[in-house]
Structure 1
Amino acid sequence: MKYEIRGRTEAGAPTILLSAGLGGAGSYWQPQLDALAPQLRVVLYDQRGTGRNREPLPEGYSIAHMVDDVIGILDEAEIGRCHFMGHALGGLVGLELARRCPERLDRLVLVNAWDRLDTHTARCFAVRQRLLDAGGAEAYVQAQPLFLYPAAWLSEHAEWVAQEEAHGVRHFQGRDTLLKRIAALRAFDVSSQLGDIQTSTLVVATRDDVLVPWTASQRLAQGLPNAHLHLFDHGGHASNITDPAAFNSVVTDFLYL
């Protein structure tokens, strides 16, 4: 697994590993780097099957496989413990890591994540898959911003969105990979085990997220013994991009930076 380290590079520096959502790209976290890098060693990576780690995924690919990759990165970089921040699918990776290897984690930040897939989110993924089947990568990527960003923000950032769409088509992870990754998040369910996860956790959600209802984060925070829920009123599914100043402030406060 290829990865990169930003910010502090000295051995033993406090560290955070960032895990993206279904797109899988480490670059998703660009708006957070200025806030995190001055005080932390920041580990970025593209999830297996995407970006610089693009390769065919095995049958039965799961969130557990994704956690194996994270553990491999930590071992390769000789990082014993770290903070972990995951967005949506990346949050599921964080939950499974906290369940399996709590000794590897200091603090956990879950952004628009869930303990089991909500019926509304499942409907959204079904629609996106039909778009992929009917219109190919271009149709899938063109629809993606509708699930990520609020309408007013999309209107104000039309040029940026167009550039992201073009980039998304050029670097599309491939139908087989995408469907295996969607199947992995569909199958994930730790709802009966939340009470066993003791890691100090910040759960972040946005009331106007059209992909993952904020109530999924509420359920997470209620089920985790050491969790705090922070709700933004606006920002959509990707509030770390639409309002990075507010998002970064909440995260750095939680990490005591």
Structure 2
Amino acid sequence: MTVTYDIHGTGDAGAPTVLLSSGLGGAAAYWRAQIAGLVEAGYRVLAYDQRGTGRSAGALPADYAIAHMAADVIEILDDSHTARCHVVGHALGGLVGLQLALDAPARVASLALVNAWARLSPHTARCFAARLALLHAAGARAYVEAQPLFLYPAAWSAANAALVQDEVDHAFAHFPGTETMLARIGALKAFDVHARLGEIAVPVWVSAARDDLLVPWTSSQELSLGLARATLELAPTGAHAHNVTSPAAFNRGLLAFLAGAASLAPTTTEHAA
């Protein structure tokens, strides 16, 4: 296996399965606020550390792309004897889901895309340029210290200062290395499937937070308008990691979608965080 993954809930490969794909950090643990609720709802859950991160540490190909990440997911599905799954992806993980739906549509039952995009917005490109400049000029410690600024609302970070610092310290202790980080950021910057969204026929739940500093909610709006069977749900607050900062509202929306609540035509709803 290229990557390390965990199975939560039933081990029955025929059970409805949800695969969780994280963002740039790549860690399965990112989804800890969702896993228990999904298992309680009866889902078999696959969560994995992406190639080059965490337990899946290792060198990346020189031409590393989102397509490589989608191929890793296919390897997980094959190894776990999973014929088809619901893919839930956050940011970069959402790109992996989109690529998988294009490359292996028979393996994808639905997509839940969280603060993701079909093509990088100029604003997001500016954010990543600033983060890369910080990495190059000041090193990994400064890079991870700045990370919560892009993930969480300021008030939430202030109220959870110890938790945030623990996350920063953990991220620094497990930093994958500058070369790997550059390759992963390069892959997400190069990703562009805007012209191919019409090829994706599965139901899609597009979830975004209006106060996301890193990825404008309008990127999710663009996604929903380009997909044939998408529902756009907007949280007023919660920022880029709103599944972490507002888990109750997020989990309600996700479970409703997985139960079959996604509509055929793009719509927009608002929920309280």
TM-score band by shorter chain is over 0.9
Q: Secondary structure at the match of 1:193?
A: helix
Offset, 1:104? 0.5
Offset, 1:75? 0.3
Contact 2:23-2:90 at 8 Å conserved across structures: yes
User: Matches of 1:55 and 1:241 in 2, distance apart?
Assistant: 27
Offset, 1:130? 0.6
Matched, 1:218 2:253: no
Q: Secondary structure at the match of 2:20?
A: strand
Q: Deviations over 1:3-54 (max 9, x none)?
A: 1101121231110000000000010000001210121110010000000000
Matched, 1:93 2:64: no
Query: Residue in 2 aligned with 1:178?
Result: 181
Matched, 1:239 2:242: yes
Offset, 1:107? 1.3
Matches of residues 150-229 of structure 1 in structure 2 within 5 Å?
Answer: 150-229=153-232
User: Matches of 1:217 and 1:66 in 2, distance apart?
Assistant: 21
TM-score (norm 1): 0.99
Q: Deviations over 1:127-184 (max 9, x none)?
A: 0001101111100000000000000001100010111111011000110000000000
**Amino acid paired to 2:21:** S
User: Matches of 1:99 and 1:236 in 2, distance apart?
Assistant: 28
User: Matches of 1:101 and 1:164 in 2, distance apart?
Assistant: 34
The counterpart of 1:26, out of the listed 8, 25, 28, is 28
Query: Residue in 1 aligned with 2:264?
Result: none
User: Matches of 1:175 and 1:138 in 2, distance apart?
Assistant: 11
User: Matches of 1:173 and 1:86 in 2, distance apart?
Assistant: 20
Q: Secondary structure at the match of 1:37?
A: helix
Offset, 1:199? 1.1
Q: Secondary structure at the match of 2:168?
A: helix
Query: Residue in 1 aligned with 2:129?
Result: 126
Query: Residue in 1 aligned with 2:18?
Result: 16
TM-score (norm 2): 0.93
Q: Secondary structure at the match of 1:145?
A: helix
Matched, 1:252 2:250: no
Aligned length: 257
Q: Secondary structure at the match of 1:32?
A: helix
User: Matches of 2:4 and 2:145 in 1, distance apart?
Assistant: 28
Q: Secondary structure at the match of 1:106?
A: strand
Q: Secondary structure at the match of 2:82?
A: coil
User: Matches of 2:29 and 2:39 in 1, distance apart?
Assistant: 14
Identity %: 56
User: Matches of 1:89 and 1:162 in 2, distance apart?
Assistant: 23
Q: Whose RCO is larger (CA < 8 A, sep 6+)?
A: 1
Q: Deviations over 1:57-86 (max 9, x none)?
A: 110100000011000010011100010000
Matched, 1:59 2:62: yes
User: Matches of 1:256 and 1:72 in 2, distance apart?
Assistant: 26
Runs of 4+, deviation exceeding 6 Å = none
Offset, 1:248? 0.3
**Amino acid paired to 1:177:** T
User: Matches of 1:31 and 1:3 in 2, distance apart?
Assistant: 17
Q: Secondary structure at the match of 1:255?
A: helix
User: Matches of 1:67 and 1:192 in 2, distance apart?
Assistant: 19
- Pairwise CA RMSD: 0.8
The counterpart of 2:37, out of the listed 25, 35, 38, is 35
User: Matches of 2:86 and 2:164 in 1, distance apart?
Assistant: 30
